[in-house]
Amino acid sequence: MYVASKKRKENVAEYLLYMWQIEDLIRANGLDLGKIEENVIGKSGLTEEQRKEMLGWYESLIDMMRCEGVEQKGHLQINKNMIGQLADLHQTLLRDPKFQDYHSEFYKTLPYIVELRSKAGEEKAGEIETCFNALYGWLLLRLKGQEISPETQQAMAQIARFVALLARDFHLDEQEKLFKREE
């Protein structure tokens, strides 16, 4: 909860990947609040008040996962909405000729997106969702200590650069600093 809040303010991409990790952490603990308290919260060194807040946060996420039917796989609607907001901004940036650096990074990334979609059978997934799926898969491989080929490293580095640019622009847009407002 505290980490999520901090990441949301600083880097929306890291926030989204973190929230996907939290979803998987909840699943790994069988959507059992007692197990989460023992395995996750109990080891965090929080005050009693913080621990109660954290338990409440996890409990609400568990409730949402059950209500939304994502106990086994998939993502919470709040996370899907974030992907949607990023995808909307992506389309806006592509339509605006003032964002040539963004266009350039996207077109460097596009071949990797196309390849990933064809390999994963993600024809329905949008470009931004495909990038996040790739980054999350890469994160999981790294956490497991699995070897990653140089080609995959290169692809992931490009996708990460592109997503970082989108995340930067997202925060600038939230602060109303991305598009110059006409008076």
Each of the 183 residues of the chain gets a pLDDT tens digit; together they read: 778 888 888 899 999 999 999 999 999 999 999 999 999 888 778 889 999 999 999 999 999 999 999 999 999 999 999 999 999 999 999 999 999 999 999 999 999 999 998 887 766 789 999 999 999 999 999 999 999 999 999 999 999 999 999 999 999 999 999 987 554
> Using CA atoms in the order 116, 109, 173, 7, what is the torsion angle rounded to 10 degrees?
60
Based on the fold, state whether residues 95 and 120 are members of the same structural domain.
Answer: yes
pLDDT at residue 38, as a whole number: 92
Q: Report which residue type is found at 130.
A: T
Q: Which residue has the tokens 């109660």?
A: 52
Asked if residues 132 and 83 have their Cβ atoms less than 8 Å apart, the reply is yes
Residue 98 resides in a domain: yes
Is residue 116 assigned to a domain? yes
How far apart CA 25 and CA 140 sit, in angstroms, is 12
Q: Are residues 160 and 82 in the same domain?
A: yes
Residue 127 domain flag? yes
126 plus 154 within the same structural domain: yes
Single pTM value for the model:
0.91
pLDDT at position 9: 83
Q: How many domains does the chain have?
A: 2
Contacts of 170 (CB under 8 A, 6+ apart): 12, 85, 86, 89
Does residue 49 sit in the same domain as residue 82?
no
Q: Which domain holds residue 97?
A: 77-174
Answer yes or no: is 183 within a domain.
Answer: no
User: What pLDDT, on a 0 to 100 scale, did the predictor assign at position 5?
Assistant: 81
Contact 12, 167 (CB under 8 A): yes
Give a yes or no: residue 180 inside a domain. Answer: no
- Angle among Cα 129, 1, 168 to the nearest 5 degrees reads 45
